[in-house]
Amino acid sequence: MQTYKRGVINLTNLPDVQSTRPDVAINLNRVGVTNVKKLVEIARKGKRPIVLISIFDMFVDLPYNIKGANLSRNFEAMNEVLEDAIKSPAYIIEDLCDEIAKRLLERHEYATKSEVRMRSEYVLKKKTKITKHPCQEVIDIFADSKLERGKKTKKTIGAEVVGMTACPCAQDMMQDMAIDELKKIGVEEEKIEKFVNNFPMATHNQRGRGIISIEVPEEYYVSLDDIIAIIEESVSSPIFEFLKRADEKDLVYTAHKNPKFVEDCVRDMAKKIVEKFGYLPDETIVTIKQINEESIHRHNAFAERVATLSDLRKEINNNSNEKMITTCK
């Protein structure tokens, strides 16, 4: 029963409902808070630090015999963890998530697992190719850390980058039409061949989103800038928020000289990941996605590959050797 003293509730007698046994006694995989916004400062060696407005999701598991995680007090504890973890600038965002995950397990003695997710918008300063005009591109970056008592941390880092693709199929059809029209007006075949080889034909385009996620072993480091570069290099052309006419002409020409299906983007990303991150162990898990918003359809085109680096290496090497053998025959 609650007791009152001079009109004030005596909180010492309030029951700890969260610690009681639940009516349905089952374990819960995740209990915590989501959509926690925090300011994070990321240090860079030799460069000015980057300030990110980040969104965190934080969880621990809950055993069957505890009714609730007492989110009012737990949220306060999680908030303190974040404040302590971001007082000093961090160099690696997945390590920041890792530190928070470790502290959550320290505070929640009943938990065996913790998980922290972080999502941010990273502003990348770029210059256009021809006029060198400065502009800013917003890149979605993310990281998470999964920790189980007595085991090594599983960290993940990744990015989602918007680029442009040009359809190879429609371009082939337009090229056939151009060849027929040039023949009709009497252009010599040698000149036709030279023209179509040097000047890309019209085709329909897509705004594509490339996504790479790499599960980084505890003692290894993966550069976010390298991930972003791989995605941009695997589409028909990167895009820019601001373009002068000379830049626009060059971008359209570049994209149409480099037509790609959604599948091509994923395969190119896979090849570049194997080349760039060859130092990572074989069991490293890589997730690669490409989502293209079609301009002539209502639907999106999608492709994905999830694999270990070992599997990707074997496939790329074996298929390359097979191609060489076929070519030599």
Confidence bin at 68 (pLDDT 50/70/90)? low
Is the pLDDT reported for residue 85 higher than 70? no
Rounded CA separation 45/172 (Å): 47
Give 83: exposed, middle or buried? Use CB within 10 Å, 0-12, 13-18, 19+. Answer: exposed
Rounded CA separation 253/132 (Å): 17
Rounded CA separation 69/173 (Å): 62
**Start-to-end C-alpha separation, the chain:** 90
User: DSSP letters along 27-46, please?
Assistant: -EEEEEEEEEEEEEEEEETT
- CB neighbour list of residue 173: distance below 8 Å, 6 or more residues apart: none
What is residue 79's predicted lDDT score, i.e. its pLDDT?
Answer: 76
Per-residue pLDDT, averaged over 81-89, amounts to 69
262-276 and 224-233 are packed helices; what angle lies between their axes, rounded to 10 degrees? 140
Is the pLDDT reported for residue 23 higher than 80? no
Q: Of the segments 31-45, 67-81, 216-230, 259-273, which one has the largest average pLDDT value?
A: 259-273
Answer yes or no: are the C-beta atoms of 202 and 240 closer than 8 Å: no
The radius of gyration of the chain's CA atoms, rounded to the nearest angstrom, is 27
What is residue 5's predicted lDDT score, i.e. its pLDDT?
Answer: 47
What is the overall mean pLDDT for the chain? 85
Per-residue pLDDT, averaged over 69-81, amounts to 69
Give which of 231, 213, 90, 99 is closest to 157, Cα–Cα.
Answer: 213
Helix (H) or strand (E) holding 142: strand 134-148
> pLDDT by residue (tens digit) across 102-160?
888 888 888 999 999 999 999 888 999 999 999 989 999 999 999 999 888 889 999 99
Percent pLDDT > 90 in the chain is: 50
Is residue 161 classed as helix, strand or coil in its secondary structure?
Answer: strand
Answer yes or no: are the C-beta atoms of 41 and 34 closer than 8 Å: no
In order of 182, 272, 315, 325, 327, the CA distances from 322 in angstroms are: 39, 19, 10, 5, 9
> pLDDT by residue (tens digit) across 166-200?
999 999 999 899 889 899 999 988 898 899 888 89
What is residue 11's predicted lDDT score, i.e. its pLDDT?
Answer: 52
Per-residue pLDDT, averaged over 72-97, amounts to 73
Per-residue pLDDT, averaged over 322-328, amounts to 51
Is the pLDDT reported for residue 91 higher than 80? no
The tokens of 137 are what?
């591109």
Confidence bin at 2 (pLDDT 50/70/90)? very low
> pLDDT by residue (tens digit) across 241-284?
888 999 999 999 999 999 999 999 999 999 999 999 999 999 99
The tokens of 125 are what?
């300063």
> pLDDT by residue (tens digit) across 24-44?
779 999 998 899 898 888 776
For CA atoms 128, 131, 132, 136, the dihedral sign is negative
What is residue 314's predicted lDDT score, i.e. its pLDDT?
Answer: 94
Looking up tokens 């896979």, which residue turns up?
270
Q: Which pTM was predicted?
A: 0.84
- Strand 205-216 and strand 4-5: the pairing is unpaired
Answer yes or no: are the C-beta atoms of 60 and 108 closer than 8 Å: yes
Looking at the chain, the number of H-run helices and the number of E-run strands are: 8, 11
Which residue did the predictor score with more confidence, 17 or 121?
121
Per-residue pLDDT, averaged over 68-97, amounts to 71
Is the pLDDT reported for residue 82 higher than 60? yes
